[in-house]
Structure 1
Amino acid sequence: MQPASVGRLGLVVHPVRDTVEQARLVQTWAAAHGKEVVGLRTDAARLPEGVDLVGPEEFASTVDAAVSLGGDGTMLGALRLLVGRGVPVLGVNLGHLGFLVELEPRELPAALERISAGDFTVEPHLCLRTELRTGEGHRESVAFNDVALARRPGHGTVTAALSVADQRIGYLRCDAVVLATPTGSTAYSYAAGGPVVSPGADSLVVTPVAPMSGIGRPIVLGVDEPVRLELLEKSGAPVVEVDGIASGELPPGSVVEVRAERDAGHVIRLDAGDHGRRSRVKLSLLDLPLLPDEMLELVPQELRRSESTRTR
C-alpha cells in the first residue's frame, strides 16, 4: 500500500536527543516541494521554528506519512501514535544498532525524493493490543515490540496461569514473562532465549525469563490465538512494560489479555533486501562479547577513515 500523495509530513523525534538539524533537512525539502510539516507540541524543543505544532489526535488523523528521527524506541513510538491509521513511517537512525530504522541521516534527502515519487514499499507490522484488569479497573495499551511482566527486585516471582484461545495450558513461575511480536522477537524475548521470528510471520511469542517451574520454554502462537495471563495469589506484583516503557504494577489476581492485530503499523522500506542484510549483521553483533568501541577496533583503519569522511 502507498498513499496517493504525500502532502503533509509528520515528524516524530527522539525524546531527549537534539534532532533540530535532521528535522530542518525535512523542513527544507518540504518547503521546496510544497509540502507541509507538522510535529507534536511536546517535541517543540527538538524541532526547528516553522514546523506546525499539533496535538497527537490531529497529528495521527491528518498526516499522510511520518518521519521518525531517533532509534528503534522512537520508531515504536511513532507506530503506536499512528496505530491502525494506515500511515507509513520512515525511520532515520540517530541511535545505536537500530533494527526497525533503515536510513542514516545523510540518506534522508534522497529518501524523501523517492517517497514523493512513490518509489518505496510498505512493510506491515502487527501489534499487541493489551487489556490490563485489576480490582481497581482496567486500562488498555498497544505494543509493537513486546509486553513484559517483570519481577521487581526484592519481591516475589511472576507466577501466572497461561490460557491460549480460552484453553488453560499451564502456569509460569519466572522472573518475567515476555509476549513479543515478530518485530520484538529480536529484543527482550531474544535476550531471554526466545526464537528469532521473521517479520513476515503472523505469530506471537511467549517467553519465560529465568523460569523456576511450570512452563520453561518459549511458545510460538498463531496471530488469531488470544493470550490470557492471570497472576496467581502467590505471585509478586510485577511491573508492566509496554515496548520497554514501564506502565505501573499489577497486584496478584490481575488479568492480562493480549490480542494480536495484523497490519496495525506500516514501515516504509526503500531497499528491503539491504535492510534485511543489515539487520542480520546487527543481530550477529549482539552475540559478540565486545563493546561497540572494541568492535570498531576490528575495522581496518582505511575503512574507518572513509566512513568518517562520509558522515561529516
Structure 2
Amino acid sequence: MTAPLRTGSLGLVVHPSTAVAGSVERTLRWADGHGLTILARTADRARIGDGAEYVDDAEFAARADGVLSLGGDGTMLGALRLVAARPVPVLGVNHGHLGFLTEIEPSDLEPTLARLVEGDFSVESRGALRLGSTVDGTSLTAFNDLVLRAATRGGTTAVDLDVAGEHFGHYRADALVVSSPSGSTAYNYAAGGPVVSPSLHAVVVTPVAPMSGISRPVVLGPEETIVLTLPRDAHPAVLEADGAEPRDVAAGAAVRIDYVPDAARIVRLDPARHARRSRVKLSLLDLPLRPDQLLELIPAELRTARGIGGGAPGQ
C-alpha cells in the first residue's frame, strides 16, 4: 500500500496526437464523481478540454500528488521527466504498442483510478541520467538514454570518454548512446548493447556503428561520473534526452553525466504480472517464442471469450 490520493491532485499527461479522447473523458468523469482534482498542463488544453485545472509545467510538477500518463512509453517518459525533481507516483495507460513502462490498458481505467485513490498499489523506483548545466545553462534528465550525435544527419561523432576523473578512451561513430537500465532495451539494444535489469543500478555506453576507438559497449557503475568531451576540431554535435529535447554541443565542450538512482516512482498494480509480460515483449524483439508464451500478450477477457488456451500462466 502507498499513500492514497483521496484529497490530492492527479496530474494528467496525454500523447500529442494519439487518439486518447475516450480515456480523457472517462478520467475526468470519474474524478468529478470522486472529488479528485485533475491537473493538466496549459500546453495540453486543446487535447483535454473542460474539466481540468490548467497550470504551467513548474506548478504541475510542484502540485501533482500523482500522474496519469495516457499514451505509450514515450508519453510516460515525458511525464517522468516533468516530475523528476520531485518524484511522485506515475501510472502509464497503454495507448501505444509494446509498452515496457506502461502497465494497464484503457479498459482497466476506472478500477485502476479507484486503486490509486485508495493507495492500493506499489511503487517501482527507477534511475535516470542527469546532465548538468554544462551545455546551455539548463539541466536535463533522461530515463532511457542520452544520445550524442552529429548536428548534421549522416555525419560522424568524435568524442573522448572520461570515467571517474580518468581518461577511458575515445570514439568515432555515428552516435554514442549513454543508457540507463530502463533504456537498455531501447536504442542501446538496437545498437548491440546489453539488456540490463531495471533492478540493477548501472550505466551502459554503446557506440553506434563505430569506426575507430572503443568499439564495444561499456557497463559502468552508478557512482562513476561520465564526462564526454568533443575535440576542439570536431564537428558540432547534438545531445538528445529520450529522443527529445535536443541540446547543441559545440566543439571543445565537455558534458558531464551523473546517474540518479531514485529519480522516478512508477506505479505497479501487479509487479509480477508486469515483469512476465515485459519478458515476453522483450522476446518479440529478438528471441523466438513458443505459441503458449504468445498467449500472455492476449488480454484475459479475449482468451476467455474465444476459448483460447484456458488462460495464460499466472492469470
Regarding TM over 0.5, the answer is yes
Superposition map of 1:163-174 within 5 A: 163-174=162-173
Determine helix, strand or coil for the equivalent of 2:134: strand
Deviation at 1:236, TM superposition (A): 2.8
2: CA distance, partners of 1:282 / 1:132: 36
Where do 4+ consecutive residues of structure 1 move more than 6 Å? none
| Sequence identity (%) | 47
- Which residue does 2:12 correspond to in 1? 11
Q: Secondary structure at the match of 1:256?
A: strand
Q: CA deviation at 1:132?
A: 6.0
1:5, 1:50 → 2: CA distance? 18
Change (3 A) 1:235 1:305: farther
Q: Could you say which residue in structure 1 is the equivalent of 2:99? A: 98
Cα deviation digits, residues 165-199 of structure 1 (max 9, x gap): 11111111111110111111110001001111111
Q: 1:214-267 deviations in whole A, cap 9, x for unaligned? A: 111111111111100101134332222110015143232121110011211110
What does 1:85-234 align with in structure 2 at a 5 Å threshold?
85-131=86-132, 133=134, 138-151=137-150, 152-155=152-155, 157-234=156-233
The match for 2:310 is none
2:46 counterpart SS class? helix
| Deviation by residue 1:258-302 (Cα, 9 ceiling, x = unmatched) | 00112111100001111111111111112279xxxxx9xxx9xx9
Corresponding residue for residue 73 of structure 2: 72
Counterparts in 2 of 1:247 and 1:17: CA distance versus 1, 3 Å? same
Contact 1:204–1:260 at 8 Å: present in 2 too?
A: yes
Q: Is the 8 A contact 1:69 1:93 kept in 2?
A: yes
Residues in 1 aligned to 2:304 and 2:174: alpha-carbon distance in whole angstroms = 41
Conservation of the 8 A alpha-carbon contact between 1:24 and 1:48: no
- Change in Cα spacing, 1:132 to 1:162, as seen in structure 2 (3 Å) is farther
3-state SS, counterpart of residue 232 of structure 2: coil
Q: CA RMSD in A?
A: 2.4
Counterpart code for 1:201: L
Q: How many residues matched?
A: 296
Change (3 A) 1:9 1:175: same
Rounded Cα–Cα distance in structure 2 between residues aligned with 1:131 and 1:57: 19
| 1:246–1:37 CA distance, 2 compared to 1 (3 A) | closer
Structure 1: distance between partners of 2:86 and 2:245: 25
Letter in 2 for 1:144: F
User: Does structure 1 conserve the Cα–Cα contact (< 8 Å) formed by 2:126 and 2:261?
Assistant: yes
CA distance in 2, matches of 1:305, 1:236: 59
Separation of aligned partners in 1, 2:304 and 2:119? 34
Structure 2 CA distance for partners of 1:304 and 1:242, relative to 1, 3 Å: farther
Per-residue deviation, 1:64: 1.1
- What CA distance in whole angstroms lies between the structure 2 residues aligned with 1:41 and 1:217? 44
Distance 1:235 1:215 in 2: 17
TM-score by length of structure 1 reads: 0.88
Work out whether residues 91 and 103 of structure 1, in 8 Å CA contact, stay in contact via their aligned partners in 2. yes
Distance change (3 Å), C-alpha of 1:25 and 1:68: same
1:3 and 1:180 map into 2 onto residues whose CA distance is 31
SS of equivalent to 1:95: coil
Unaligned runs of 5+ residues in structure 2 are 289-293, 308-315
